[in-house]
Amino acid sequence: MNGGDEVAAATPAGPPPALEWKFSQVFGERTAGEELQEVDIISAIEFDKTGDHLATGDRGGRVVLFERTDTKDHGGSRRDLERMDYPITRHPEFRYKTEFQSHEPEFDYLKSLEIEEKINKIRWCQTANGALFLLSTNDKTIKFWKVQEKKVKKISEMNVDPSKAVGNGSVASSSNSSAPKPYLANGGCTDRLHNSPGNDFSIPAGGFPSLRLPVVVTSAETSLVARCRRVYAHAHDYHINSISNNSDGETFISADDLRINLWNLEISNQSFNIVDVKPGNMEDLTEVITSAEFHPNQCNMLAYSSSKGSIRLIDLRQSALCDSHAKLFEEQEAPGSRSFFTEIIASISDIKFAKDGRYLLSRDYMTLKLWDINMDSGPVSTFQVHEYLRPKLCDLYENDSIFDKFECCLSGDGSRVATGSYSNLFRVFGCSPGSTEATTLEASKNPMRRQVQTPSRPSRSLTTLTRVVRRGAESPGVDANGNSFDSATKLLHLAWHPTENSIACAAANSLYMYYA
């Protein structure tokens, strides 16, 4: 009787269909001809674990928070509404919540170095008592912020109407003397107050019948207050490129070019150096740390990438100083393919764990690679992001664009990956078995404008059938749709919503949001 059902269940489902992306919102959009201010350029984006809050950091040292609004309208979380079969048709919508100055420009007098205020990374921490907590860092200093709604306190029961009070504090110093000429508490005569031009303050004849002292009362109004709880400083000689929270909720790591430090959130004056790749002689230096990330579920595991294109997985239980790695992930160079640019473009700019911790995504200059942490022989899939730029590597080296650090992200279910490119484009690839999805989108109100019409086809790698190389339609010197590329407009920062198909990306000072 159930035989038909069993056969249907045994048939493997095909890859999910390609998503159709739509524009949702834009914050900070520039009008035509408006000049771009350097301090307004977004330098970090991060969703919190629930996806209800989004944080951005900019080169001016500010952190801006956005909160989700479409779930609040129905009075419950999206997950609860789905459980009740509540029809949800709206896409995720966010609104501006608050902003605060996280970092200020500093000067290191010992090294005669200016430390800019630019926010390099933001990471959300666990919420508590309705307050939001997050870590933000510039090149040298990490700060732990608490953002909380506080009830506004107001002064009430004043002797005089506050709307007529002067701003110099004369109100509080009035006296209720019954003398014909009332005097102020400090001995000054109030005649001057009556006679002085432009002063609205007046005392009734005979003075006040009784003196009412100002009383501070808590009103129903609330305001958001951001307070710096801790400052983690003086632990890095080189520029911090990564911070990452541990799943234990108590510790986090910070990484610079040569070292990774482990911190406790409660202790700001002490950290433990867990990785140190600095050689005895700096002339022997061959690679630097480019990114570091804690495993999402196992508090003892973390991964870090290097400028040589390798990723090392380390286990904190092995030793206090993790000089030896548990696993090394790197792709072997094809013979005869080496050039002047090989090592530069192999440098990994970002790594991200999938939500379940099984897969690891890495971004180098030309490609995205998906790694299975149980298989260190090579990547499971390789996605070509902008192969059409390969003939232009010399030009990109000349204008330093070849050193641009693009970020990458995975969808909550791990079935898709995304990363940015030039001309304000970003790519979304399907990484499910058999998927051929390779979408090119533009950070504008019409994201599909530059969409490649010809479907991309996976080409099997010679080394193993499980590895896939994905390409968009390519032609040298132009982008995926035949347009000339612009290396000045680059989309470096983007983030995928943790539970839904929604992407936030930064194009200069504008924050664009898309959904599918």
- Average pLDDT of span 104-123: 92
**Segment 303-318, tens digit of pLDDT:** 999 999 999 999 999 8
- Average pLDDT of span 441-447: 89
- Average pLDDT of span 128-156: 91
Q: 409: closest CA among 506, 504, 496, 500?
A: 496
Q: Between residues 342 and 5, which one has the greater pLDDT? A: 342
pLDDT band at 213 (very low <50, low <70, confident <90, very high): confident
pTM, two decimal places: 0.78
Task: Please give the Cα distance from 401 to 490 (Å, whole number).
Answer: 9
Task: Please give the Cα distance from 253 to 265 (Å, whole number).
Answer: 10
Q: 416: closest CA among 451, 375, 368?
A: 368
Does position 412 have pLDDT exceeding 60, yes or no?
yes
pLDDT band at 183 (very low <50, low <70, confident <90, very high): very low
The predicted pLDDT at position 446 comes to 84
Does position 392 have pLDDT exceeding 80, yes or no?
yes
- Average pLDDT of span 246-268: 96
Does position 286 have pLDDT exceeding 70, yes or no?
yes
Contact (CB, 8 A) for 295 and 304: no
- Average pLDDT of span 226-244: 95
Would you say the C-alpha torsion 180, 181, 187, 190 has a positive or negative sign? positive
**Percentage of the chain modeled with pLDDT above 90:** 60
Q: What is the DSSP letter of 19?
A: P
**Segment 480-513, tens digit of pLDDT:** 455 567 888 999 999 999 999 999 999 999 999 9
Q: What is the DSSP letter of 433?
A: T
Contact (CB, 8 A) for 140 and 239: yes
The predicted pLDDT at position 219 comes to 74
Task: Please give the Cα distance from 303 to 318 (Å, whole number).
Answer: 14
The predicted pLDDT at position 9 comes to 45
The predicted pLDDT at position 170 comes to 44
The predicted pLDDT at position 158 comes to 64
- Average pLDDT of span 427-443: 93
Q: What's the mean per-residue pLDDT of the chain? A: 82
Q: Which tokens is 335 given?
A: 């013979």
Instruction: Locate the DSSP E strands across 233-358.
Output: 242-245, 251-255, 259-264, 267-276, 289-294, 301-306, 311-315, 327-329, 350-353
